[in-house]
């Protein structure tokens, strides 16, 4: 793969500096996306969802995971439901499923939780710096 132009530095296939070594991504990556479908959405819902997800994150100790993103998709974005989504990087799907079910089952505004699991494999990784 050729990246850059006259403003970019040398493209390397192997991380050589300590900083580049920190940027190396895992060979395999599993993203788990939880979509909490809610009946209604207003300013209070975001706070309620964050409270529940805070509880889930608190009990994620002992599970190998990292946080990717959180957000809200309103109706007509991908369907008729308002969904709050949480995307985590983890291969420990059964434990995550249990935690999400346990912490959202009593939340009256939740209709259901749908989930997708995506497994990625690193095909290529290169490193370069841009001079400013």
- Tens digits of pLDDT across the chain (132 residues): 444 444 456 788 888 888 888 888 776 688 888 888 888 887 788 788 777 777 777 766 667 777 777 777 776 656 667 788 888 888 788 888 888 888 888 888 888 888 899 988 888 888 887 878
Query: 44 lies in which domain range?
Result: 29-121
In a domain, 7, yes or no: no
CA angle, corner 52, sides to 36 and 85, nearest 5?
30
Task: Give a yes or no: residue 132 inside a domain.
Answer: no
Whole-angstrom distance, CA of residue 55 vs CA of residue 53: 5
Q: Which residues pair with 31 in a beta bridge?
A: 89, 118
Beta bridge pairs of residue 34: 86, 115
For the chain, how many structural domains are there in total?
A: 1
């Amino acid at each position: 793969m050729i990246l850059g132009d006259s403003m970019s530095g040398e493209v390397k296939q192997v991380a050589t500096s300590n900083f580049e070594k920190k940027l190396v991504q895992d060979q395999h990556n599993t993203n788990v996306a939880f979509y909490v479908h809610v009946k209604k959405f207003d300013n209070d819902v975001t706070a309620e969802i964050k409270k529940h997800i805070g509880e889930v994150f608190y009990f994620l100790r002992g599970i190998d995971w990292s946080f990717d993103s959180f957000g809200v998709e309103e109706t007509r974005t991908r369907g008729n439901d308002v969904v709050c989504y949480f995307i985590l990087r983890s291969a420990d799907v059964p434990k995550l499923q249990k935690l999400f079910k346990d912490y959202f089952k009593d939340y009256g505004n939740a209709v259901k939780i749908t989930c997708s699991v995506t497994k990625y494999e690193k095909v290529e990784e290169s490193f370069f710096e841009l001079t400013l």
